[in-house]
Structure 1
Amino acid sequence: MMQVSIDPNEIEQVLRDLVAIPSVNPAFPGGSGEGAVGAYVKKYLSLQGIPCVEQEVEPGRSNVIGMLPGSAGGAALLFEAHMDTVQTSGMTIDPFAGKAANGRLYGRGACDTKGSLAGMLVAMSALRRSGLPLPVGVHLAAVVDEEYRYKGVSALAEAISSGRFDYSAAVVGEPTGLHRVVAHKGCVRFHIETRGIAGHSSAPANGNNAIERMVEVLNFLRTEIEPEYARMTHPLVGPPTHCISEISGGDAPNTIPGSCRITVDRRTIPGEEPMEVWRGLRDRLLRLEMRVPGLTLTVGEPFIIDYAMEVPADSRILRQLGRSVAKAANGKREYGAAYGTDASKLARVGVPSVVFGPGSIEQAHTDEESVELAEVTAAAAALVDLVLHYGED
């Protein structure tokens, strides 16, 4: 089979183009959405002769899905990467300049995860230009809203579940340093509120201080719940965790606070269901309320849930992506991650999914975000090899 090469100059130009287009998630300050990046992806694919469809997720926000057919028909291989980024506030470089220096390209999203998207686009282009019959069809889904509520991949997962799309496996683009993430955590986020009796702070005994009652809740989470996590350690992602990520309470410096609220971010491990975890914590907190005098609390319904994910050890995608990555880069391995990705939503509808891409997660969302261009080129080469040798066991 003829060699299909990746042009580093094309990689740099496509990534520079993507970074130059603002796509801050509209949930964040200054967010304009992903529409302009979606238009770029659609135009790029069209210029390469790759047909694509748009999947509207909500008004003005659509997934873009490019499609290359395989010679044998059947289920396709999916490449997936998100188009949205986090906010640019606090950045110390021009977030949209796409400046290249010392082998790296800088800007918001360069690492998370426009580097992955650029590699996937150029890989699709290289496969199309090669004229080779592909042993498997391959789709590239550029999706919206990964950084907030996962609406893009959720819509894609619904389309898969309904039979509109059929995929044998997926590669989900995120900055993994060309390693392969085969398991990761999920999360369930919710509020706990304590309620007291407001009054004048000069007579604290006449009220019921909701902030002090919240201290009882925090102590309970730290001393009774947290020690249990060590007994639940997963071999790839470690134990569950929780973080008290927000707190608010009180109305004035001279008033006994009548309410206090915290946000709990509970990270789940493979095998845990987010709603079951929440119900278990809720029930134990309500029992705490019954045994602590003066404590009145409410455990809110989760406002975000996401799922943990683990790829079955015998999945074809693990073997074949491992071989393809080894041809493009040395010393790369499989591991588990503490963060979440779009992969878990695809796995929930029966698509074995591996998280893979250029860049370091430590660069994601930083004030000088960047990615090594050679890694983006290597990622594209690995994806091309994966497609060309898919099904060879």
Structure 2
Amino acid sequence: MIARIDEERVRQVLQDLVRIPSVNPNFEGGVPERDVAAYVEAFFARLGLSAERREVRPNRPNVIGMLPGMNPDALGLLLEAHMDTVQVTNMTIEPFGANIEDGKLYGRGACDTKASLAAMLTALEWFVMNNVKPPVPVFLAATVDEEVNYLGVLDVLQTERRFAAAIVGEPTELHTVVAHKGVVRCEIETIGVSAHSSKPEEGLNAISGMLKVIHHIDNVMNDRLRAITHPLVGQATLCVTEIAGGVAPNTIPERCRIKIDRRTIPGEDSEQVWCDLQTEMAQFEAFDEKLKVIVHPPFVIDYAMHTSPDSEIVRMLTAAAGSKIGTVRMLGVPYGTDASKLARAGIPSVVFGPGSINQAHTKDEWVELKQVALAAEIIADTMMGFGKR
């Protein structure tokens, strides 16, 4: 186990990160992650560590730095944390103030997930400043676009580097997350026939047709999904999240669209779930010859994850956390993370970080600074032992 990491240094790095806006450009008031990436790149340069800047999209670069290990030929340990945040609309605090009160640092991204990034950076810094090498190379990837399309982590998988395992930074209150859900999001459209509303019988109302589809989702499909469960993440779910249809108050609507969110559990294949949805709607359509239903291709598709508790990275991270906080739980969560893409590529991955998911995306987002410092120590302890023979 290593010496205690300076909480004041952790605070400084986290304040620096939170004060740099990096709202995902897909959201209102979006700002590319460029400036946070520049900070991370300069951090590596100051430590004398090599780093690669990869332009995933214009002004949206990943930065991947490397801390050499005692065995330079060994597969490395990957630390990954995203730089983007959600929007700051309706926040009740200064989003980028990084103000501190009662041991809590406030600001957008403070919890999700710049606290994890700060912990990872300061853990690497400890090794350099103390002239210590971990057993295997350690890579830190600061990535873009986790909040929308996961473009950053997918780009990491396009590099020539190969990793033995990964720690993915997200707020877990210093517990280890070994399983989470995946998601399929797509649009379902009903096609009718437009007509003047004074003669509705001459048309086919797409909104009325969509009501039948929604009733089927709520009362048939969801009943079946309640039987599909996983011991750590719970049941698979299906929700209607948006609806749009009609063109005028005196016109029978020809089209209606809904967006759906289908959460998958470990053991389900997201692509197959979408195919099954197509089949379901085709069968449903067959009961009503006048109704045409189209299931459009997914605009978001992600995968569920379940990493074995017996894998080296889970055992070592859990032990390191236990030495700092006592009892550590191995959890499953209902949301998705970058970890599922890494796991799908054959990299055993665990989700870990300071802060609570209950503070993520909130109007007054915050994280306890003591937890961030503890996370840095836990990550450093894991780096010290991982891959040791």
TM-score for both structures, normalised by structure 1: 0.96
1:214-243 deviations in whole A, cap 9, x for unaligned?
011011112221111122211111111011
Deviation at 1:293, TM superposition (A): 4.1
Of residues 187, 191, 194, the one that matches 2:190 is: 194
Which position in structure 2 is the counterpart of 1:125?
Answer: 125
TM-superposed deviation, 1:312 = 2.1
Amino acid at match of 1:91: M
Distance in 1, Cα, partners of 2:270 & 2:102: 43
- Would you say the 8 A contact 2:193–2:253 is kept in 1? yes
- What is the distance in 1 between the residues matched to 2:261 and 2:242? 9
Deviations 1:116-172, CA, capped at 9 Å, x for gaps:
00111101101111112321211110001101100000011122xxxx112111000
- TM-superposed CA distance for 1:205, in Å, is 2.4
Aligned: 1:227 with 2:223? yes
Between the aligned partners of 1:225 and 1:278, the Cα distance in structure 2 is 13
Instruction: Map 1:1-393 onto structure 2 (within 5 A).
Output: 3-73=2-72, 74-159=74-159, 164-391=160-387
Distance in 1 of aligned mates of 2:253 and 2:134: 66
Q: Is 1:213–1:294's contact at 8 Å kept on the other side of the alignment?
A: no
The aligned amino acid for 1:214 is M
1:267 alignment partner, SS class: strand
* CA distance in structure 2 between the aligned counterparts of 1:5 and 1:180, rounded to whole angstroms: 21
Deviations 1:245-284 (A, max 9, x none): 1100111222221111000111111121111111111111
SS of equivalent residue, structure 2 residue 231:
coil
Q: Cα deviation per residue 1:61-91 (whole Å; 9 max; x = unaligned)?
A: 1111111111022011110000001111111
Counterpart CA distance in 1 for 2:51 and 2:191 is: 53
1:392: Cα distance to partner?
Answer: 5.3
Structure 2 CA distance for aligned equivalents of residues 254 and 306 of structure 1: 41
SS of equivalent residue, structure 2 residue 88: coil
Three-state SS of the structure 2 residue aligned to 1:367 is coil
Instruction: Give the gaps of 5 or more residues in structure 2.
Output: none
Verify the 8 A CA contact 2:181 2:303 in the aligned structure 1: yes
Amino acid at match of 1:297: V
Distance 2:282 2:133 in 1: 61
Tell me if the contact between 2:63 and 2:143 (Cα under 8 Å) persists in the aligned partners.
Answer: yes
Q: What is the alpha-carbon distance in structure 2 between the residues aligned to residue 70 and residue 60 of structure 1?
A: 31
Give distance in 1, aligned partners of 2:132 and 2:118. 21
In structure 1, what residue type is equivalent to 2:252?
I
Letter paired with 2:208: E
Q: Is the 8 A contact 1:5 1:126 kept in 2?
A: no
Secondary structure at the aligned position of 1:56 is classed as strand
Greater shift, 231-240 or 115-124, is seen at 231-240
Quick check: 378-387 or 225-234, which moved more? 225-234
- Assess if the C-alpha contact under 8 Å between 1:307 and 1:345 holds in 2: yes
Partner amino acid for 1:360? S
Query: Tell me, which stretches of 5 or more residues in structure 1 are unaligned?
Result: none
| RMSD, aligned CA | 1.3
Measure how far apart 1:206 and its partner are.
Answer: 2.6
Partner secondary structure for residue 119 of structure 1 = helix
Partner Cα distance (1:113, 1:28) in 2:
17
Which whole-Å CA distance do the structure 1 matches of 2:22 and 2:360 have between them? 15
- Take 1:288 and 1:391, find their aligned partners in 2: how far apart are those partners? 53
When structure 1 is superposed on structure 2, of 127-136 and 35-44 the one drifting more is 127-136
Number of equivalent positions: 388
Q: Which amino acid aligns with 1:64?
A: V
What is the alpha-carbon distance in structure 1 between the residues aligned to residue 233 and residue 388 of structure 2? 30
